[in-house]
A = this chain, B = another copy of it.
């Protein structure tokens, strides 16, 4: 079993989004063949792109049903990971970058453990 599971990276998500903006949703094979994205998505199939876009769209809408303060107000003795990617479809315009504001802030009354880990601040690849 050589497929433990393959999680999507932020680079891949950004490439997918850019591909949809450029070619349109539904043109998965076209996006995949575009040399601009194939370097990032080369190990994904067109079906993978379709599935991922479905998941991203669902998330972008109303954040689900049973999630609310559950994930946010979780007291974790660790460093809360915060990574959120904006997910919205552009109107076909050139530049568009929605910034999702996720004010998830775990503010413990006590001193929180320091963060020895390196925060991963990744910027989306340039498109257009």
Indicate whether A81 reaches chain B with its CB closer than 8 angstroms.
yes
Contact of A77 among B75, B78, B82, B118 (CB under 8 A): B118
Indicate whether A68 reaches chain B with its CB closer than 8 angstroms.
no
Contact of A74 among B4, B74, B75, B78 (CB under 8 A): B78
How many monomers of this chain does the complex have? Answer: 2
CB-CB under 8 A from A78, the residues of chain B are: 72, 74
Alpha-carbon separation in the docked complex, A30 to B65 (Å): 30
Chain A: residues with Cβ within 8 Å of the partner, total of 13
Alpha-carbon separation in the docked complex, A72 to B76 (Å): 10
Cβ of A32 to closest chain B Cβ, rounded Å: 19
Alpha-carbon separation in the docked complex, A59 to B76 (Å): 23
Q: Are A77 and B120 in contact (CB under 8 A)?
A: yes
Ordered by A's residue number, 9 sampled pairs between the chains whose C-beta atoms are within 8 Å are: A4-B82, A4-B83, A72-B78, A74-B78, A74-B81, A75-B81, A76-B117, A77-B118, A77-B120
3 closest A-B pairs (Cβ-Cβ)? Answer: A77-B120, A74-B81, A72-B78
